[in-house]
């Protein structure tokens, strides 16, 4: 036996096989796809029709993001139920046992009664295959969601990423920034729920403060003399200067307790903001927060009645947004008492 010839033969066969395995390996393929898709995006960006009139670039960006996530070992997709290890081992033992039995029966030629252990062996094989298939857990329809809503959790990872990229490219992500119309609403709710008046005072506009002060004065101070000019001066002094200091502290304490009672039971992590801009006037928009249940949000394709929604009016002051009304659909009007444009008693 020529050892050198055997080694050369093995080497000649193993080298191209090893190269083939390397070329076809998943990680190498992902890297290759990422490089090619990045080049493709550059070409798409040069085409005005594809860039401005189609979502092609969003799709490619989403594909690149998914491939990078897979390359780095990030978990994607819907959650899967675990493989039943005990059942898998039992099925494997039965499969091997009946497989050996079937082979023993037909080792010298086919025997009709070998069909019985063979069927059991085939059934175990099918059972083992079934344990690795269709393990995705379907998202439950949360009762907090309106009829016809499609949970974001039910979307594929590619759809989620493409939507995020589309929102970012269209400037919609600015709505959710800390100083954006949605971001300032979340900031107001968190500060009000935690009793941090120094923060919710920053998150609201001056008209809101004036109207809240007027409401407090109307409910707590003597106005039987109908001297509205005196009340106007007091409201302006409190809302702009915090004077008199004693009254200002009383107002803050009462307002802190009122807002905490109003928002203490609200789980802000289960509220989502509508992505549609709802302009109601120059520099004014509506922000609607709705319960999202245990999902990451949901999509609706038609007009839908949402139970438990919260409506806010936000006002753009210079370059930042402020809360203008936390209970109604319009900015409150100063007066005695001020008008909050809401049918609710909780103002």
DSSP string of 69-118, one letter each residue: HHHTT---SS-BPPP-HHHHHHHHHHHHHHHHHHHHHTTTS--GGGHHHH
Looking at every residue in the chain, the average pLDDT score rounds to: 76
Q: Please state the domain count of the chain.
A: 3
Whole-structure pTM value: 0.54
Structural domain including 98 reads 85-130
Structural domain ending residue among the three candidates 71, 95, 115: 71
CA dist 200 and 185 (Å) reads 10
Whether residue 108 is found in the same domain as residue 224 = no
Whether residue 199 is found in the same domain as residue 61 = no
Helix (H) or strand (E) holding 241: helix 228-241
pLDDT digit string, tens, across residues 266-290: 777 777 776 667 888 888 888 888 7
In a domain? residue 250: yes
Strands (E), the chain: 150-151, 271-273, 278-281, 284-291, 298-299, 310-317, 320-325
Whether residue 121 is found in the same domain as residue 225 = no
What 3-state DSSP class applies to 204?
Answer: strand
Which residues of the chain have a pLDDT value below 50? Answer: 1, 7, 10, 13, 17, 19-23, 141, 154, 170
Residue 248, C-beta contacts closer than 8 angstroms, at least 6 positions apart = 238, 242
In a domain? residue 295: yes
Whether residue 272 is found in the same domain as residue 298 = yes
pLDDT digit string, tens, across residues 137-191: 555 545 555 555 555 554 555 555 555 555 555 455 567 677 788 888 888 888 8
Structural domain ending residue among the three candidates 20, 44, 71: 71
Whether residue 112 is found in the same domain as residue 201 = no
Whether residue 93 is found in the same domain as residue 232 = no
In a domain? residue 23: yes
CA dist 140 and 238 (Å) reads 51
Strands (E), 152-297: 271-273, 278-281, 284-291
Whether residue 299 is found in the same domain as residue 217 = yes
CA dist 147 and 137 (Å) reads 21
Contact 332, 215 (CB under 8 A): no
In a domain? residue 253: yes
């Amino acid at each position: 036996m020529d050892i050198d010839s055997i080694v050369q033969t093995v080497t000649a066969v193993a080298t191209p096989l090893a190269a083939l395995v390397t070329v076809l390996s998943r990680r190498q393929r992902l890297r290759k796809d990422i490089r090619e898709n990045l080049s493709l995006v550059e070409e798409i960006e040069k085409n005005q029709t594809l860039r401005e009139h189609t979502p092609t670039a969003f799709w490619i960006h989403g594909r690149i993001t998914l491939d990078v996530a897979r390359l780095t070992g990030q978990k994607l997709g819907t959650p899967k139920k675990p493989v039943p290890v005990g059942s898998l081992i039992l099925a494997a033992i039965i499969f091997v046992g009946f497989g050996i039995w079937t082979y023993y029966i037909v080792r010298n030629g086919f025997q009709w009664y070998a069909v019985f252990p063979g069927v059991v062996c085939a059934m175990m094989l099918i059972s083992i295959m079934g344990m690795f298939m269709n393990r995705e857990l379907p998202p439950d329809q949360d009762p907090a969601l309106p009829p016809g809503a499609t949970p974001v959790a039910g979307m594929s990872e590619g759809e989620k990423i493409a939507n995020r990229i589309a929102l970012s490219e269209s400037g919609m992500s600015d709505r959710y920034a800390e100083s954006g119309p949605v971001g300032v609403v979340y900031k107001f709710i968190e500060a009000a729920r935690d009793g941090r008046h120094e923060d919710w005072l920053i998150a609201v506009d001056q008209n809101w403060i004036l109207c809240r002060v007027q409401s407090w004065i109307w409910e707590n101070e003597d106005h039987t003399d109908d001297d509205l000019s005196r009340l106007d001066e007091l409201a302006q002094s409190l809302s702009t200067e915090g004077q008199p200091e004693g009254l200002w502290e009383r107002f803050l304490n009462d307002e802190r307790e009122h807002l905490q009672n109003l928002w203490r039971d609200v789980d802000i992590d289960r509220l989502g903001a509508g992505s549609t801009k709802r302009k109601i006037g120059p520099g004014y928009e509506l922000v609607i927060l709705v319960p999202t249940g245990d999902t990451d949000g949901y999509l609706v394709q038609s007009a839908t009645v949402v139970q438990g929604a919260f409506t806010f009016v936000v006002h753009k002051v210079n370059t930042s947004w402020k809360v203008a009304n936390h209970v109604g659909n319009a900015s409150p009007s100063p007066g005695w008492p001020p008008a909050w444009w809401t049918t609710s008693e909780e103002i």
